[in-house]
Amino acid sequence: MTQAIEIGRLLRAGTTGFVAGCRVNQLNAPSFGALVRAPLESGYQIFGIIYDIHIEDDGLVRQLVTADNVSEAVMHDNRVNRIVPVEMSALAVGYEQNGKIFHLLPPRPPLSLDVIYLCDEKETVRFTEKFGYFRHMVNNKEIPVGEVVAAHILQVQSMHKDKSWQERATHEVITLLRDDYPTLMAVLGALSDVSVDF
């Protein structure tokens, strides 16, 4: 079994999503569009898709960006030793309870400091076998829908043995957005950059 990759700890959460934080030097596994999970108690875990990653600044960084000739040692110290958190925002897209996957909003959010993990290939394939979770992405006007959907599909297709997964996922997105032409065009435009020949 593969080792679970811890990507951070929960800062804040709600029913529709959560924000995890990690140190800059931990930022090597999670990426925009990735599926993550927050395991809680006795067979209950929440799944989310990362839709934003940003790095907070502080007083020292504000001073350093205006300084001349910042040395490599100072930059390394700021990136490795200082505790400036990277924040990753994830949209809640489903949960697992007693071994069953639901593409619904979770009954309750994770709690502060809960560990957030990057889903491995097996977990990702299992969660994405059906497409009910896409509605959470395409109906959320607070996120860059086209970019998130395209990044997610690109990552997940590489994990599926079934090479028709991307085509079926794209058809599901088109069906969900058939009455929202501007969003559909934004999504299809982003998908055209990651599409393979069907």
Per-10-residue mean pLDDT, the chain, length 198:
76 94 68 94 92 79 71 72 79 96 94 90 96 96 94 93 91 95 92 66
Whether residue 106 is found in the same domain as residue 139: no
Best CA proximity match to 105, nearest among 90, 83, 124? 90
* Domain with 93 in it: 1-121
Based on the structure, what is the number of domains in the chain? 2
Final residue belonging to a domain, choices 88, 121, 154:
121
Whether residue 4 is found in the same domain as residue 86: yes
Whether residue 95 is found in the same domain as residue 140: no
In the prediction, which pLDDT does 3 show? 66
Final residue belonging to a domain, choices 59, 94, 121:
121
DSSP letters, 17-62, are EEEEEEEGGGTTS--TT-EEEEE-STTEEEEEEEEEEEE---HHHH
DSSP letters, 58-77, are -HHHHHHHHSSS--HHHHHH
